[in-house]
Structure formats: C-alpha cells, structure tokens
Structure 1
Amino acid sequence: MDYPFIQGQTPEISRNGWIKIIIVNIISVLLLANGIIHGILTSILNWIPGFSHGGQNMLYQPSLANVFAGILTGVIFLSINIWGFSSTVGPRWKELFKPLKKNDFWQILKYFILSMVVGIVTGLIANRLFGHEVNPANRIQASHPGAWLVFLEGRVENLFQLLGEEFIAIAPFLALLQLGRLKKWSSKFSFWLALIVSSILFATYHLSTYGYNLGYALMGLTFTRMVLTLPYVKTKNLWVSFAVHYLYDLFSFLLSFLVVVS
C-alpha cells in the first residue's frame, strides 16, 4: 500500500498523531456547521464602511460582509485541516498532493461521471425512504435577478471548502489503513473497512446540512463519498479527488440552480 505516511515497518504517524488529526477535522466541521466562523467574520467585516449594506433580499443581494465572510470561512476551514496534518508531520503533509499527470484527467472524468450517477440514484432513494431534504445552497434559482453572482460566489467558496473536505475524508481513510497494517488484517479487508467507515463519517459531518436527518445523510452521501475517495485510491493524489468532488458539486448545484427545487 503505497499511501503516504503508512509506508515501511514503522508507522509514519503514531496512533496519537492520527487521533489529533481527526479531532482537528471534527473541530473544523463543528465550527463550519454551526456558523461560528462565519458569524464572527461577518461581525468584523460589518465594521468596514459599505460592507454591511445589502439589498432587500439578502439571499440574492447579500452584503459584502456576508460574501467575504463566506469565502474566508472556506479558507479558514481548509487552513485548520492543513494545520492538523502539518503540526503532526511537518512539511510532509504536502505528500498528499502530486503534480497532475495526463492520465489523471481521465480519472477525473471517469469518476466524475460515476459520482453523478451514484449521487442521483442514492439521492432519489434517500428522498423516497427518508423524506425530501434540500441543501441550503440549493435555495437560489437562476430565474431571480442577481442569482448568477450569488451562484458564482458559492463556487469560489467551494474551492476552499471542498479541498478542506478532502482532508476530513482522507484522514480517517489513511488512519484505518494504517490500523489494518498494524493489526495484520488482509489488505482487502483493511481497504473496505477504511473506505466504508471514512465515508460514513463524512456523511455524518453533513448532518446539519440536511436538517439532522441521519437516514437521509447516510443514504444520500455515503456511497457518493466512496466514489469520491476512489480517485485518491487510484492516484494517491488529493488534487484528483478534489477535482472530482468539485465538479460533482458544481454540476449538482448547477442542475438545481437551473431547475426549480422545492
């Protein structure tokens, strides 16, 4: 298993090191989900002249404070998760990333298509079994004046937030692979355990997004996350899984943006 940090006979990251990284992951998610970072940043930015004024409809005409707070929240979320790794392994956290190769673009396209298929199917099943839940980011519609600017602002924010989400998805995956190596489990068992458990954990991180509907979050996100992790498994390059994740969210949000969602 040529994954970073778990090569060789001696683990590159100790058990306590992985626990620290995952705790940092959880703290970053809680700060993001509860709107703590966004609220603090908005309050600070409101002091800048002109930043506190928005239109009558704050959804489509947000204040500059709200716009910049959203983007900076994504930056801080990503930074917290990078710090979790860098404070444990130093500059070697960059081993999660590699330069993109020609074949990587084929992997991106392949897994993007697969993720869309799985996401649509599991989303429909989740709706049927656990009720209809809508991601708050899907509230805006293209037919409303000013909607495209809000949509584009969200995609800029996603550049940082989704890369941070790749850290919180891959960290437990790698930690469980290392655990399997130490326990001398078979590589196949370790892989599937790591993939399934890390994907379930990722789904639970999104509970607040879907009204704390546990069944919906698990059904709607676990299998899609498994697909989103596979390009990392294939390439050992977080840029590839991030690209697939970003394209998946971009086209999912674009679809709901152009089609009325109730």
Structure 2
Amino acid sequence: MSKRDYPWYDKQSSPLGGLDWLIILVALAAGFAVLALAPPTLAGVPPSLYGLLRAILFSVIPLAALAWRAGTCWRALFNGWKASYLWWGLLFGVINLAFTAVIGSVAIRVLDLAANPVVGDLAGGEIPGGPAMFYLTTGLQLFGEEVITLLPFLFLLWLGVQHLSLSRTAAVIIAWVGSAVLFGAIHLPTYDWNVVQALLLIGPVRLVLTLAYMVTKSIWASTIAHILNDWTMFTFAMVMGGMAAAGGG
C-alpha cells in the first residue's frame, strides 16, 4: 500500500485554489463533451481514427488544465510508477468483475436494464477499425473515465477539508461516494438514460474501481482495474458473437 497521502487537499501542500479547480472542472466537462457530444463522424476522417482522437482529447483536455494550474504537481495524480500498481490493479479488476457479476445477476431480475450498445455491437460482430484499434481506443477512453472520476474525487476531498471543515475520513467518504454518483451520471446516455441503472448498478461498481486508487494513490492502478474489467467483458462479447456467427453459418 502506498504511504503517500492524497494530493492537493490540505492547505499546506495544495497548489490549487477555487479558481484553479473551477478551470479544471470546466476542462473535464469540455473533455466529456468532445467524447459524448461531438458529431459521430467528421468529413474526411476515418471513423476509427476519429474515435481514437476523441478518446485522446477526453483525457488530454482536463490533464492539460491540471498541468496548467498545478504546475509540476499535476504528476501527483500518477504517483510515479511502481510494479505494485499493476498487482493492485489486477486484484481490484478481478474483484470488480466478480462484484459486477453478482450485482448484475441480481439487478437483471429486479430492474428493467438497458443494454450497453458497445457490447451489443461486438456481439453482432461489429468491431470498429478492427480489434487492435478497438482495444487501443477503448483503453484510452477508460483512462479518460478515470481522469473524469478521480479529479472530482480530489476536488470533493479538497472542498470537504478546506471549506467544509470536515475530517479527512469524512471528506474521503463523501468524495468516494460523490465521484461514484458522477461516474454513474456520465453513463446515462450509454444506458438510455436509465437513472436507476446508472446510480444503483454503475455507481456501486465504480466504488470498487476507486478503491484501487485509494489504496495506491495512483491513477495507474484504477486504470488497470478498469481496463481489465471492461476488456474482459468486451472480449467475452466478441467471442460469443463469433461463436454465434459460426454456429449460424
């Protein structure tokens, strides 16, 4: 477990003030808009390359704002690199897969769930740009989802400690839950605006992924966990779709 504390939340070490955080949050919204609200195609640009560009900008825009406002302290989001980040990421990725399977099996019986369109396309044999481009693009997008979750986590922690006079523990809990709610909310368009599904299914799954960051204080660990979780489900959908196509042929 990392002995380093969360960055930027206490008055002694934080290079970020209210205006800085406002700029970072606006940049997060801009990055999300590029991914979710940009036109689905761009004239003269291959769809797979356009998708890759959007996935890159999704994380680059807020990270650029963070680097601008925090200076070299922006690197604290990554906390360097240690081999333990890989093992923690794999561990929480496996835990999250198991948790997703359990909560999903329960939810499918009691909730009216919307299907993930990406999984549906893969099951139907549609792989934009081929498998290599698909995994590269989704990997970068999943990293962006970590950025768009963990920066608000750290903002809420900063807000709770510095402006609401909460204890560190209380602020961490609020940041943990609040960022999970945000993560569920940004998935509303993906799941046909199903609020119950986003908050009661996607949100709790996010709590597990964030634990990988909370243990290591590194976005690398939670990104590895997230990629392992989603790539496993994507690969399963591809395999099942391929088997169905072979059987149908």
CA distance in 2 between counterparts of 1:141 and 1:79 reads 27
1:119-153 CA-to-partner distances (Å, cap 9, x unmatched) read: 22233344334313221211234684x75963432
- Residue 79 of structure 1 is aligned with which of 46, 60, 65? 60
Query: Where does the alignment leave 5 or more consecutive residues of structure 1 unmatched?
Result: 46-64
Report the equivalent of 2:43.
43
CA distance in 2 between counterparts of 1:258 and 1:149 reads 17
Compared CA separation, residues 184 and 142, structure 1 to 2 (3 A): closer
Report the equivalent of 2:143.
163
**Which amino acid in structure 1 is aligned with residue 25 of structure 2?**
I
CA distance in 2 between counterparts of 1:205 and 1:148 reads 22
SS at match of 2:43: helix
Q: How well do the aligned residues superpose, as a CA RMSD in angstroms?
A: 2.3
Q: Which has the higher contact order (CA 8 A, sep 6+)?
A: 2
CA distance in 2 between counterparts of 1:30 and 1:127 reads 30
8 Å contact kept, 2:10–2:161:
no
**Which amino acid in structure 2 is aligned with residue 24 of structure 1?**
A
- Residue 27 of structure 1 is aligned with which of 26, 30, 37? 30
Compared CA separation, residues 27 and 148, structure 1 to 2 (3 A): closer
Q: CA deviation at 1:22?
A: 1.7
Report the equivalent of 1:60.
none
Q: CA deviation at 1:9?
A: 3.1
CA distance in 2 between counterparts of 1:16 and 1:143 reads 47
8 Å contact kept, 1:166–1:242:
yes
Compared CA separation, residues 84 and 129, structure 1 to 2 (3 A): farther
Q: CA deviation at 1:241?
A: 1.1
Report the equivalent of 2:130.
150
**Which amino acid in structure 2 is aligned with residue 32 of structure 1?**
L
- Report whether the alignment pairs 1:186 with 2:167: yes
**Which amino acid in structure 2 is aligned with residue 43 of structure 1?**
A
CA distance in 1 between counterparts of 2:173 and 2:119 reads 32
Report the equivalent of 1:93.
74
- Report whether the alignment pairs 1:220 with 2:223: no
TM-score computed with the length of structure 2 as normaliser: 0.86
8 Å contact kept, 1:125–1:219:
no
Q: Which moved more, 1:120-129 or 1:24-33?
A: 120-129
CA distance in 1 between counterparts of 2:141 and 2:185 reads 16
Compared CA separation, residues 91 and 67, structure 1 to 2 (3 A): same
**Which amino acid in structure 2 is aligned with residue 169 of structure 1?**
T
**Which amino acid in structure 2 is aligned with residue 207 of structure 1?**
L
Report the equivalent of 1:18.
21
Q: Which moved more, 1:132-141 or 1:244-253?
A: 132-141
Q: CA deviation at 1:181?
A: 1.5
Report the equivalent of 1:3.
6
8 Å contact kept, 1:127–1:216:
no
Report the equivalent of 2:105.
124
Q: Which moved more, 1:161-170 or 1:97-106?
A: 97-106
Query: Where does the alignment leave 5 or more consecutive residues of structure 2 unmatched?
Result: 245-249
CA distance in 1 between counterparts of 2:197 and 2:169 reads 28
Compared CA separation, residues 10 and 103, structure 1 to 2 (3 A): closer
1:170-200 CA-to-partner distances (Å, cap 9, x unmatched) read: 1111111112212331222111111001110
Compared CA separation, residues 152 and 133, structure 1 to 2 (3 A): farther
- Report whether the alignment pairs 1:206 with 2:209: no
CA distance in 1 between counterparts of 2:191 and 2:232 reads 19
1:45-89 CA-to-partner distances (Å, cap 9, x unmatched) read: 2xxxxxxxxxxxxxxxxxxx1111111111121211212212221
Identical pairs, percent: 27
CA distance in 1 between counterparts of 2:67 and 2:191 reads 31
Kindly report structure 1 stretches of 4+ aligned residues shifted beyond 6 Å.
none
**Which amino acid in structure 2 is aligned with residue 27 of structure 1?**
A
